[in-house]
Amino acid sequence: MVRILAPDRRAIQEAAGILGAGGLVAFPTETVYGLGAIATNDRAVSRIFTVKQRPLHNPLILHVLDRAAANPLVVWTEPASALADAFWPGPLTLVVTREPSAPISPLVTSGLPTVAVRAPAAPTARRLLEETLLPLAAPSANPSGRVSPTTAAHVADGLDDAVDLILDGGPCSVGVESTVVDVSGEQPVLLRPGGVARGELEAVVGPLAAVGRDDTVRSPGQLASHYAPRRPVRLDAGDPAPDEAFLAFGDVPAGGAVSSNLSPSGDLEEAARNLFAMLRELDRDDVRAIAVAPIPRDGLGEALNDRLARAAAERG
């Protein structure tokens, strides 16, 4: 059994010690729980790929405390600076040209000339970064392709003692992954919708270009099937069948064999916080599929619909 500790001072120091010795520590961010390794340590970073069974061509996000900590790693552009000033710390990842002398394992960027960085807002993540004083490579702390973890128990379910320690900061406050924007060039490109809504970003840097569905060079990790429960997922379901689990949204009657409501009041932020935990709860052997009610596409709804579309996608 993996050890799970409340993130007090001693636990943070112990976590930093484990990371410094090349270990893996799962920790809460405001988006989902991350599986962290010191980004300069080749062996530790390679363990992330092994433990998650993540393809090596899917690069990792670097977590830093702030812009100053990102300086040795990235070549700043005007839109990158504007977005970091507006949204860091927070659920926004910037893809920028990698500083050639950046002291990070080449595995982090999968050999790309760019690097993805973000400054998390969650207090436990920040305290850990303050203690290590080094960038942490941290993808979601779950087996590749499966539902992301938003509690310490979810991490233990998926990875157990493949992780050296889990810091338990309670449920994640945002609940879906960060928004990923490529700001390495002149026009920002939205690579993945997430915790910061498109409209908020566009208010700062103007219109975001969309990435082509199969632009695998720009966005290597955006595989079609992802965030997948074991049961099949059926989208835009008005009327669940008696042998389906029902993931409802808003003021709709419960239905199916069992149901959960992402947000009875129709609040997209509440729905984002609940999404992954409810997908897990409804992923039961005694149902044929998970039917999901329609969810609005505005604001955080773009990220929710993105995750659900991938959860429903044909499995590879």
> Measured at CB, which residue is nearest to Mg ion?
140
Q: Is residue 25 within the footprint of ligand AMP (CB under 6 A)?
A: no
Contact 70, 93 (CB under 8 A): no
- The site string for ligand AMP over 49-88 (x = CB under 6 A, - otherwise) reads ---------xxxx---------------------------
Question: Is the CB of 140 or the CB of 150 nearer to Mg ion?
Answer: 140
Q: Return all residues near 265 (Cβ < 8 A) that are at least 6 apart.
A: 250, 251
- The site string for ligand AMP over 142-181 (x = CB under 6 A, - otherwise) reads -----------------------------------x--x-
Q: Binders of Mg ion among 101-140, rule CB under 5 A?
A: 140
- The site string for ligand AMP over 90-119 (x = CB under 6 A, - otherwise) reads -----x-------------x--x-xxx---
Q: Is residue 31 within the footprint of Mg ion (CB under 5 A)?
A: no
CA distance 227 to 221: 12
For the bound state, the minimum distance from the C-beta of residue 262 to Mg ion, rounded and expressed in Å, comes to 20
Q: Return all residues near 217 (Cβ < 8 A) that are at least 6 apart.
A: none
Q: Return all residues near 35 (Cβ < 8 A) that are at least 6 apart.
A: 24, 26, 48, 51, 52, 138, 139, 140, 141, 142, 155, 159, 163
Q: Which of Mg ion, ligand AMP, none does residue 95 bind to, with CB < 5 to 8 Å depending on kind? A: ligand AMP
- The site string for ligand AMP over 227-266 (x = CB under 6 A, - otherwise) reads ----------------------------------------
Q: Is residue 219 within the footprint of ligand AMP (CB under 6 A)?
A: yes
- Which residue is associated with the tokens 């966005």? 219
- The site string for Mg ion over 140-179 (x = CB under 5 A, - otherwise) reads x---------------------------------------
CA distance 18 to 27: 13
For the bound state, the minimum distance from the C-beta of residue 264 to ligand AMP, rounded and expressed in Å, comes to 29
Binding site for ligand AMP (CB under 6 A): 58-61, 95, 109, 112, 114-116, 139-140, 177, 180, 191, 218-222
